[in-house]
A and B are shown apart, each in its own frame.
Chain A
Amino acid sequence: MSDDLLPPPESEVKPRSLTEAIAMPTGGKQLTLWGDVWHKLKRDKRFYVAAFLIAIFVLMAIAPFLFFVKDPNACAITDSTLPMSKQHWFGTDILGCDYYTRVIYGARTSLEVGVIVSSLSIVIALTFGASAGYFGGWVDTVISRWADIWFSIPTILGALLVLTLFNGGGPVLVSLVIVMFAWPDMTRLVRSTVISGKSRGYVRAARTMGSRGRRILRRHVLPNGIAPVLVFAAYVVGSSVGAEAGLTFLGVGLRLPTISWGLQLAVADTRFPEDAYLMFWPSLFLCLLIGAFILLGESLRDAMDPKLFGGDV
Chain B
Amino acid sequence: MSKRYLIRRLLLVVPVLLGTILIVFALVFLTPGDPVARLAGNKPLAPSTYNEIRTQYHLGQPFVVQYLYYLDGLVHGDLGATFTGRDVSSIISERFPVTLKLTLGAFAIEVVFGLLLAVVAAVKRRTFLDSAILVFTLFMITVPILVLGFVLQYVFGVKLHWLPVAGIRDGAASYVLPSLTLGLGLAASLGRLARSNVLDNMQGEHIRAAIARGLPRRRVVGRHVLKNSLVPIVTILGLDFAYLMGGAVITETIFNLPGLGNALITGIKTQNGPMVVGLVTLSAIIFVFTNLFVDLLCARIDPRISYE
A64 proximal to B (CB < 8 A): no
Assess whether A276 is in contact with B28, with CB atoms less than 8 Å apart: no
> A148 — which chain B residues lie within 8 A by C-beta?
12, 16, 19
Q: Which residues, 251 to 289 on A, are CB-close (under 8 Å) to B?
A: 251-252, 262, 265, 269, 272-273, 276, 279, 283, 286-287
> A146 — which chain B residues lie within 8 A by C-beta?
19
B: number of interface residues (CB 8 Å): 48
> B249 — which chain A residues lie within 8 A by C-beta?
156-157, 160, 246, 250
A153 proximal to B (CB < 8 A): yes
For chain A, give the interface size range.
35 or more
Q: Which residues, 234 to 270 on B, are CB-close (under 8 Å) to A?
A: 242-243, 246-247, 249-250, 253-254, 264-265, 268-269
Q: A286-B144, A286-B147 are in contact. Are A160 and B276 (CB under 8 A)?
A: yes
Main secondary structure of the interface of B (DSSP, over half): helix
B288 proximal to A (CB < 8 A): yes
Assess whether A295 is in contact with B138, with CB atoms less than 8 Å apart: yes
CB distance from B307 to the nearest CB of A (A): 14
Interface-located stretch among B89-97, B207-215, B223-231, B277-285: B277-285
A145 proximal to B (CB < 8 A): yes
- C-alpha spacing A165/B15, complex, angstroms: 26
- C-alpha spacing A102/B242, complex, angstroms: 37
Main secondary structure of the interface of A (DSSP, over half): helix
Q: A242-B146, A283-B147 are in contact. Are A154 and B246 (CB under 8 A)?
A: yes
- C-alpha spacing A201/B27, complex, angstroms: 45
CB distance from A114 to the nearest CB of B (A): 13
Q: Mark B102-133, 1 if CB is under 8 A from A, else 0.
A: 00000000000000000000000000000000
Q: Which residues, 116 to 170 on A, are CB-close (under 8 Å) to B?
A: 145-146, 148-150, 152-154, 156-158, 160-162, 164-165
15 example contacts (A-B, Cβ-Cβ < 8 A) are as follows A150-B23, A153-B283, A156-B250, A164-B268, A165-B28, A245-B146, A246-B250, A250-B253, A250-B268, A265-B147, A283-B150, A283-B151, A290-B144, A291-B138, A294-B142
Q: Which of B's residues lie within 8 Å of A, judged by CB?
A: 12, 15-17, 19-20, 23-24, 27-28, 31, 38, 138-139, 141-147, 150-151, 153-154, 158, 242-243, 246-247, 249-250, 253-254, 264-265, 268-269, 271, 276-277, 279-280, 283-284, 287-288, 291
